[in-house]
Amino acid sequence: MSKKKSWRQLVRNLCAIVMLYGILLPGADSVCTAEDSSKRAAGPTKTAEVNIQKKMATSLLTKELRLMKILRDTVFFDQFGRQIPYEDLSVPCKAVLVYEPVPRGDSLAVSVTVKQLLPGSNRAFEIIPE
């Protein structure tokens, strides 16, 4: 099986797991910030290849989709397919992002799979003043 086919199969399997998780646990906790502990219903997801530029405490900044909020149940995978904690995500990187689009606001990240680390990547969080 070619790498492209196996990559597509991995993304399909991941989407199926995420959708099943959303069906079995409707109303899972929303964004993992202290100020927003409201419940939300799982919505339809989209998949995009993005360049993640920065990692903040509760969001990712991508070149293509702008700001992407991190959920409590967002799943992260390194370039070898191993699940990693958010703290171990190195940026900048190229990644496949599964997300829930939000009509008015920042989209919600469901899963992030790193495809390639870019020069200068590290695990540091970006501190942005509010």
Structure-token pair, residue 116? 């390639």
Give residue-wise pLDDT tens across range 80-114. 999 999 999 999 999 999 999 988 888 999 999 99
Q: Which residues lie below 8 Å from residue 42, measured CB to CB, with a gap of 6+?
A: 19, 21, 22, 23, 25, 26, 28, 100
pTM over 0.85: no
Structure-token pair, residue 127? 């501190």
Strand ranges inside the chain, DSSP E: 46-55, 59-62, 66-77, 83-84, 91-100, 107-122
Q: What does the pLDDT read at residue 33?
A: 38
Sequence letter at residue 60: L
Residue 55 CA to residue 76 CA, distance in Å, equals 13
What residues does each domain of the chain span?
A: 3-122
| Ranges of the chain whose pLDDT falls below 70 | 1-5, 7, 15-42, 128-130
Residue 37 CA to residue 91 CA, distance in Å, equals 27
Structure-token pair, residue 58? 């509760």
Q: What does the pLDDT read at residue 9?
A: 73
